[in-house]
Amino acid sequence: MFGRIGRVVVLRPWVTISLWLIAAVALGVFAPQLKATSDQADFLPSHYESVQAAKAQERAFPQHELPAAIAVFQRTDGGKLTDADTAAVAKVSAELENLRLEHIKRVETNPQAISPNGAIALANVVADVKDPYDPALSESVKKLRAEAKSLLSGTDLRLGLTGQAASALDAKESSGDTDAMIMSATLLLIVVLLLIIFRSPLIAVLPVLIIGMAFAVATGLIATASELGGLKSDASISAILIVVLFGVGTDYILFLLFRYREQLRGGQDPKHAMISAVALVGETIASAAGAVIVAFLALLLSTMGMLRSMGPALAISVAVALLAGLTLVPAVFSLLGAKAFWPSKAWRKEPKNALAGRIGNLTAKRPAGVAALTSGLLAVLAIGVLSFHAEFDSESSLPQNLESVQAMKDLQRGFSAGQTDPTSVFLEKKDGSALDPAQLEAFGAALKKVDGVGEVSPAVPGANGGIAQYSVVLTHRPTEDKALALVDGPLRDAAHRAAPEGTRALVGGTTAVLADIRTAVNHDYKVVFPAAGLAIMIILGLLLRSVVAPLYLMISVALGFGATLGATVWLFQNGAGKNGLLFTLPVIVYLFVVAIGTDYNILMVARLREEIGRGHSPREAVRRAVTASTPTIAAAAVILAGTFGVLMLAKNSMLQQMGFAVAFGILLSAFVMAVLLVPTLTTLLGHRAWWPGHRSTHPEPAAAPGGAAVPARSPADDRTLV
């Protein structure tokens, strides 16, 4: 099949290129914009209590007002506020409200907004939109900060804005244009590494242009699919798409170009060499892409909308990269022929591959020692997993010099840490009738008794009196672990117990949302991991026509997953003193390292199968396969790891953790698992590795028109192997 695909695109290159251009332009013009959201509540299923609480709030308070930010006033000398200072706070707050900025409904203060120690005064910045990440609201918060400086001139006060909208603004501005930075760094890295590997400016630039076209097609398809399917994308998806598409796409191009160069050295003319290359590695590339695609699609089983929407988007991008690798790349390079390697002439000579040869000899001669050493190394690194702690506190990832972070610290000098984002507790009459005032008072009193609750506001009745809202200020920061544990345990338990007969209590707000997300992620660990692993094993079994090989391949991959996550824990959590790591990191590492890292195992075992099919003994097949495949795997892994490593340039610590973990995992997958562990295990198992296959010899190449040799059959057509 892949030989036929190669012939079609190589013999009709302009038709293939034209179809890609038309698709890119059409999707660029007609596809909707890819929309992203940063509101984590949008990603939870409706049965979670925090989501039900949000719906109750919408029913009872349709004109919902968000405490978007808090203005924290204090004296410049850090002393107690005077009467003149208090008057200045009220005056400045009124003047800020009079600015009538978009989405800012009120800037209010009251006597209770003075801290018990008299050092801090607060003013609530109330917005009329729900989303703290709303662009217009962010711009208004930015203007408030600028105006406050001039209004405070001549006073002994200083002001800092914190809270959800202020933190969102600071996070956005501190990260800068992350997507542009990641795109630029990724492109530069790919060009430089390809130039070093092939010493040809054309080969350095053309893959970038080809993947750029594929990127345009992929984003258009993803946006269209999201629009039709009603999916929402996480705000970080665009950065991930860049590195996935450019990294994976470059890998597939390298798989093809290395085999193309090998066929040219064998004496084939450029067109037949490209057809042969597609025939020889087409199934390998398709299987590798298939493993990645099904692993990403396993995210559809997630209860987290963030992961569920990420899965199809990433699967589409890899599918487009596969299609480009099998059609667009052969078409473009068939037009250039051997000129693609200009001005280098090194491609004409068979490389010595001295280091790869020594590695091949080592794995063939001392398989037991190499297997023990590599598996031991992975096991030691994996020990770090035991101390992994999931972090849900997004504020802790922000630089400490930001105004919202500093203002939060100032606020905590006088108030409970939860003052910036109180938890909302709703009491709802099941039959919709009005709530009894005595019941409301008793319910509020029960909430105040919970250890960890700082204060509880009086009940605020909703529009029809059937729902009342309590604002509960915790003594912990809203996003820290203690707050999540409090809301998900004692506070919810107390609220449910205290709810009078005929009513129900719902606990919502940011802390409750994060607590429910934690529950959802723990569920996903148990569902997504096995589903993705099983799907990858099935693909490996179909590719290798073996039951045994997929088993030990997945065992090695599991070791690699543990080693990757363990190393990340040691570096970022234990080494850098972090409280924990990104809560979705295990899922991301599993999918990217297990799925994408499996590409190199697939490439290696496919070459092993090819050498076995030619009649070589298992040891000799391993030696030849490692010698021939190591340069390809090394080049692809360095480029792919480098593209993910670019994420470490972002100021967002979550992207930094993701970048390191995936880059390190890919390097482990390539240089430890694919080059060392898998070949040695294959050597030790011998013919049993391919059970239930049987021996067959690889067919001799048939003569093509013009005397060029092309494979009579691809290794993909072999059905019986040792």
More confident residue, 348 or 489: 489
Whether the model clears a pTM of 0.75, i.e. scores above it, the answer is no
With pLDDT > 70 as the criterion, what percentage of the chain qualifies? Answer: 88
Q: Provide the pLDDT for residue 698.
A: 42
Residue 15's pLDDT is: 92
φ and ψ at residue 703, rounded to 5 degrees: -75, 130
Model confidence at 443, pLDDT cuts 50, 70, 90, reads: very high
- Whole-number pLDDT of residue 238: 66
pLDDT of residue 7 exceeding 70, the answer is yes
What is the model's pLDDT at position 425? Answer: 95
Q: Round to whole Å and give the CA distance between 618 and 686.
A: 6
Would you place residue 446 in the very low, low, confident or very high pLDDT band (cuts 50, 70, 90)? very high
* pLDDT tens digit sequence for 621-632: 888 888 888 888
Among candidates 176, 207, 177, 210, which has minimal Cα distance to 189?
A: 207
Q: Give the model's pLDDT for residue 721.
A: 28
pLDDT at 695 over 70: no
Range from 231-240, 315-324, 476-485 carrying the lowest mean pLDDT:
231-240
Q: Minimum mean pLDDT among 11-15, 136-140, 608-612: which range?
A: 608-612
Residue 400: pLDDT above 70? no
pLDDT of residue 196: 84
Checking if the pLDDT of 45 tops 70, the result is yes
Dihedral (Cα; 298, 302, 307, 312), 10-degree rounding: 40
pLDDT at residue 464 tops 50 = yes
- The whole-angstrom separation of Cα 603 and Cα 359 is 17
Distance CA 377, CA 552 (A): 17
So what's the pLDDT on residue 382? Answer: 92
Q: What is the per-residue pLDDT for 34?
A: 59
Residue 66, pLDDT score: 66
For position 20, what pLDDT does the model report? 92
Report, as an integer, the average pLDDT of 1-24: 88
Specify the residue for token string 């907004």.
113
**Cα separation, 333 vs 203, whole angstroms:** 9
- 123 pairs with which residues across the strands? 71
Sign of CA dihedral 332, 337, 340, 346: positive
> Does position 65 have pLDDT exceeding 50, yes or no?
yes
More confident residue, 29 or 499: 499
> Is the pLDDT confidence value at 717 over 60?
no
Per-residue pLDDT band at 484 (split at 50, 70, 90): very high
Q: What's the rounded mean pLDDT across residues 504-518?
A: 91
Q: Which pLDDT score, from 0 to 100, does residue 347 have?
A: 66
pLDDT band at 394 (very low <50, low <70, confident <90, very high): low
Q: Is the pLDDT of residue 689 over 60?
A: yes
Which pLDDT value is given to residue 713? 39
Q: Confidence class of residue 489 from pLDDT cuts 50, 70 and 90? A: very high
179 vs 681, which has greater pLDDT?
Answer: 681
Q: Which residues, including other chains, have CB under 8 Å from residue 376's CB and lie 6 or more apart? A: none
- Burial code of 26-35, b = ≥16 C-beta within 10 A, e = fewer? ebeeebeebe
Element (H, E) at 631: helix 618-645
Q: What CA–CA distance (Å, rounded) separates 464 from 443?
A: 19
| Full 3-state SS string of 316-359 | HHHHHHHHHHHHHHHHHHHHHHHHHHCCCCHHHCCCCCHHHHHH
How high is the pLDDT of residue 369?
Answer: 92
The number of angstroms, rounded, from the C-alpha of 243 to the middle of its chain's C-alpha atoms is 10
Are 672 and 560 in contact, with CB atoms under 8 Å apart?
yes
Residue 219 pLDDT grade (very low, low, confident, very high; cuts 50, 70, 90): confident
Name the band, by pLDDT with cuts 50, 70 and 90, for residue 549: confident
pLDDT band at 708 (very low <50, low <70, confident <90, very high): very low
Q: What average pLDDT does this structure show over 244-268?
A: 83
Encode pLDDT of 412-442 as tens digits: 788 877 777 889 999 999 888 889 999 999 9
Across all residues in the chain, what is the average pLDDT?
Answer: 82
Q: Would you state the pLDDT for residue 239?
A: 64
Question: CA-based angle 368:371:377, to the nearest 5?
Answer: 140
Is residue 444 pLDDT above 90, yes or no? yes
Mean pLDDT lowest for which of 122-131, 172-181, 434-443, 500-509? 172-181
**Residue 122 bridge partners (DSSP):** 72
**The pLDDT of residue 705 is above 50:** no
Instruction: Give the tokens for residue 19.
Output: 């179809």
190 pLDDT above the threshold of 50: yes
Is residue 601 over pLDDT 50? yes
Task: Judge whether residue 693 has pLDDT over 70.
Answer: no
- pLDDT for the residue 351: 65
The better pLDDT of the pair 543, 328 is held by 328
* Adjacent-strand bridge partners of 162: 70
